[in-house]
Amino acid sequence: MKLPRITLLATLLLTAPAAAQLQIAPPVTTPSAPAEKLKPKPPAAAKKKEAAPAPKPSASPKPALPATVIPAPATDTPGVDLVYGAYQRGQYKTAFELATERAKAGDPKAMTMLGELYSNAMGIRRDYAKALEWYKRASDAGDREAMFAQAMLRMSGRGGPVDKGEAVKLMASSAKLGEPKAAYNLALLYLDGQTLPQDVKRSAELLRQAADAGLPEAQYALATFYKEGTGVPKDAERAVRLLQAASLADNVDAEVEYAIAMFNGTGTPKNQPAAVALLRKASRQGSAIAQNRLAWVLINGMGATADKIEGFKWHLVAKTAGKGDPDLDKQFSDLPAEDRAKAEAAARKWLGTK
């Protein structure tokens, strides 16, 4: 069975970015671009997504878990509003003090906030054991975000021993209550087939739940399911709609795949100028696949005005990220020395090695 590569939202497994196929037919005088297809995802694979600095925590360095997104509390709980407001502004010490007071009064959202602050070292020294304690109290009170956060700690063994069975139960409870990140990660466990028996149809159902809730990673993953016919019937048009939605949320892998679909007219009307624009965006965001594809279209003038200097700049940049291309290397060697020097200088400037 052919399984697509998808991107993990949380720290469960390890994977590389998905590859994509750009079916561009260059002029007869130039070699054709190599086809790069979505390859089956190895059983233990997924790309780690980490957390972001204030005001919205996301990329916390290892070993911190990704920040749990806590929804704004109801307007009839002004104490919690103050907690969340301080959190959003990056005033973590204030958030900690206010949340402690509310948590003592039994507020589950404040308990989840304390778990978040302890887990990600925000305004307080990192303490996974205390984070786990607060997440558990909030989970017992029915908070779905706390259930997901506790599941991730149980899965990784932070704050206590590894307990994958308990982690799966918490994740399932959180997903049942509508938490999209829990549904997404549970889908990956069903796809992986190690912690849970492999069930691609159940995986697709959970991905659909998370995608419908607007989670870009799930939208991209479900798009690959529809593209490959994994757990669902093949449907190129539906795949493209999902890729478009994820692209609008700045999911880089989805941007690359959506650009390729538009370039080739697969599941959507052909729109090469829009495709090239999206490849430019993904290239600037660091996608080596997009950089390689953008190099081809610029060097060969396909869907855009030919610009060999800019095209070979992106080829050289992609090459440093492991996306070398022998055909483009040959074309590069045939350039006049002055043009090669310009492309190399542009690549060095982009890479910050000038």
Give the model confidence (pLDDT) of 140-163 as tens digits. Answer: 999 999 999 999 999 999 999 999
Q: What is the DSSP string of 91-124?
A: -HHHHHHHHHHHHHTT-HHHHHHHHHHHHTTSSS
> What average pLDDT does range 184-210 have in this prediction?
97
The neighbouring-strand residues paired with 52 are 58
pLDDT above 60 for 302: yes
More confident residue, 257 or 15: 257
Helix, strand, coil % over all residues of the chain, rounded to 5: 55, 0, 40
Q: What is the DSSP string of 5-21?
A: ----SSSS---PPPP--
Tokens of 41: 């995802």
Q: Enumerate the CATH 1.25.40.10 domain ranges in the chain, comma separated.
A: 50-177
Cα gap 320→295, rounded to integer Å: 14
When the pLDDT of each residue in the chain is averaged and rounded to a whole number, the result is 83
Among 287, 279, 218, CA closest to 246 = 218
Residues 6+ apart with CB under 8 A from 341: none
More confident residue, 295 or 48: 295
pLDDT above 80 for 243: yes
Residue 337 has what DSSP assignment?
A: H
Tokens of 96: 């900690």
Q: Identify whether the C-beta of residue 147 lies closer than 8 Å to the C-beta of residue 115.
A: no
pLDDT at 96: 96
**Dihedrals phi, psi of 281, to nearest 5 degrees:** -60, -50
CA distances from 269 to 106, 236, 241, 297 (A): 55, 12, 12, 19
pLDDT at 354: 65
Q: Does domain 50-177 fall into CATH 2.40.420.20? A: no
Tens-place pLDDT, residues 83-134: 989 999 999 999 999 999 999 999 999 999 999 999 999 999 999 999 999 9
pTM exceeds 0.75, yes or no: yes
pLDDT at 124: 95
Tokens of 135: 């997440």
Tens-place pLDDT, residues 248-265: 999 999 999 999 999 999
Tokens of 210: 């998370």
pLDDT at 81: 76
> What average pLDDT does range 41-60 have in this prediction?
35
CA distances from 200 to 68, 197, 222, 259, 262 (A): 26, 10, 11, 27, 28
Q: Identify whether the C-beta of residue 147 lies closer than 8 Å to the C-beta of residue 171.
A: yes
Q: Identify whether the C-beta of residue 259 lies closer than 8 Å to the C-beta of residue 279.
A: yes
**Dihedrals phi, psi of 276, to nearest 5 degrees:** -65, -40
pLDDT at 59: 35
